[in-house]
């Protein structure tokens, strides 16, 4: 990497060590790596990260691994053994952030005590990601994102009114935990380096609380009304109209008409200007109460227009709308192309489309340098060049199952 590139990286010089698997904690490291941090991802020898076997693999490519492990350096190390712990401590000597997601007590079982790590490396920031957090009655239970999507209240308030609670098809809870982990790590860096406390700290991130915290003021709503949020399909208890509507050509359009001005523009578009001053629809709170009737009026208009026709009319009249896209639609969309939401990366002899780095920084943009690499791809650089281990030492460590 040349000096010019280093200067353009928001987190250039930041060193991160990641002992974590699957998505939640590794996403934290991935976000930091996207913006220039050196993230060293540790996998157990032979078995590797469980994410390598997540979903499916085609032509040797696992899209989840390629995405969440991108921009990281990869080594194998068994930290449950004494020799592996010694190497871990060597690596931690100049590390800024240590990310781990073992079940509470596991590191201690291996002789790695967090209090001792803080004493030994006082500037180290330790990010601990678990299902339920480091404390509490559930702390030692296995915590997967699916369970947290159920327990957070998300599934209970998602789905059709008379249907079953609905879980997302993607790692929603893990993703928010990854976001919170990266954000809190940078809070701690600011405290240590900008406020000059020179002290690291331990960050306790639970996947459960990560998703719970973004679901809105559910606790206060319940406190005030005595009613928990209920499943409403695509509707919302806070605004109307708000739904997806089927077009003449069997496509779908989402409409958001919460503000009075947007609702009035929509009423004019569908030929129902009489609804503007109608006692059932004259303001948002009334529209929420009478949403069934309102949706019928909008659906009737939508079913007489194709997606292209409806989109053109609604856009022209400044009615907030969006077609329901799949990933193919997004990859072919002119705005998504202009924003480079999906880019092409050449990896292992193949051109692969992948989600671009986000958010977009004007002075220090992130960059995809490479996708997730093979297991132990950076062993030689780290063990030999950085730590100074000799070839015979490395071979012995391999023989003993340490690396």
- Say what the alpha-carbon torsion angle 375, 381, 383, 384 is, to the nearest 10 degrees: 140
Which run of H or E residues covers position 257? none
Cα separation, 33 vs 27, whole angstroms: 10
CA distances to 182, 287, 288, 381 from 320, in Å: 33, 17, 18, 53
Kindly tell me the number of DSSP H helices and DSSP E strands found in the chain. Answer: 18, 11
Instruction: Choose the catalytic residue: 34, 49, 174, 378.
Output: 174
CA 386 remoteness from chain centre: 31
In order, the DSSP letters of 89-151 are: HHHHTT-SEEEE-PPTTHHHHTT--HHHHHHH-TT-EEEEEESS-SSSTTTTS---HHHHHHH
Cα separation, 273 vs 257, whole angstroms: 15
For residue 362, how many C-alpha atoms fall within 13 Å in the half-sphere facing its CB? 0
The question of whether 174 is a catalytic residue gets the answer yes
Query: What is the pairing mode between strands 73-76 and 38-43?
Result: parallel
Residues 6+ apart with CB under 8 A from 319: 255, 257, 262, 265, 266, 269
The residues that bridge with 76 in the sheet, in sequence order, are 43
Tokens found for residue 7: 């200067």
Tokens found for residue 338: 């202009």
Catalytic residues: 174
């Amino acid at each position: 990497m040349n000096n010019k590139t280093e200067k353009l990286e928001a987190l250039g010089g930041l060193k991160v060590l990641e002992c974590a698997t699957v998505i939640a904690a590794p996403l934290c490291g991935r976000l930091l790596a996207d913006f220039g941090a050196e993230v060293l991802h540790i996998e157990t020898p032979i078995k590797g990260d469980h994410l390598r076997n997540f979903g499916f693999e085609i032509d040797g490519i696992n899209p989840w691994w390629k995405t969440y492990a991108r921009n990281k350096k990869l080594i194998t190390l068994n930290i449950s053994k004494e020799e592996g712990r010694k190497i871990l401590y060597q690596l931690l000597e100049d590390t800024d952030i240590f990310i781990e997601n073992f079940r509470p007590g596991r590191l201690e079982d291996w002789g790695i005590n967090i209090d001792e790590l803080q004493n030994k490396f006082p500037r180290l920031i330790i990010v601990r990601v678990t299902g339920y957090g480091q404390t509490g009655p559930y702390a030692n239970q296995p915590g997967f994102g699916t369970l947290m999507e159920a327990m957070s209240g998300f599934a209970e308030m998602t789905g059709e009114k008379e249907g079953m609670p609905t879980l997302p098809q993607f790692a929603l809870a893990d993703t928010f935990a990854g976001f919170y982990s990266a954000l809190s790590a940078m809070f701690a860096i600011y405290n240590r380096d900008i406020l000059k406390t020179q002290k690291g700290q331990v960050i306790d991130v639970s996947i459960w609380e990560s998703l719970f915290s973004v679901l809105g003021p559910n606790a206060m709503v319940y406190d005030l009304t005595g009613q928990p949020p209920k499943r409403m399909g695509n509707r919302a208890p806070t605004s109307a109209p708000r739904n997806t509507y089927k077009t003449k050509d069997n496509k779908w359009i989402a409409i958001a008409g919460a503000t009075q001005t947007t609702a009035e523009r929509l009423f004019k578009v569908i030929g129902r200007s009489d609804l503007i001053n109608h006692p059932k629809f004259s303001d948002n709170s009334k529209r929420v109460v009478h949403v069934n009737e309102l949706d019928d009026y909008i659906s009737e208009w939508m079913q007489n227009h194709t997606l292209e026709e409806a989109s053109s009319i609604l856009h022209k009249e400044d009615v907030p709308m969006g077609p329901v896209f799949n990933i193919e639609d997004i990859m072919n969309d002119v705005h998504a192309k202009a924003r480079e939401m999906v880019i092409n990366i050449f990896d292992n002899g193949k051109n692969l489309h992948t989600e671009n780095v986000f958010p977009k920084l004007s002075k220090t943009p992130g960059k995809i340098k490479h996708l997730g690499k093979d297991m132990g791809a950076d062993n030689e650089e780290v063990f030999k060049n950085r730590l100074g281990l000799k070839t015979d030492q490395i071979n012995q460590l391999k023989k003993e199952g340490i690396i």
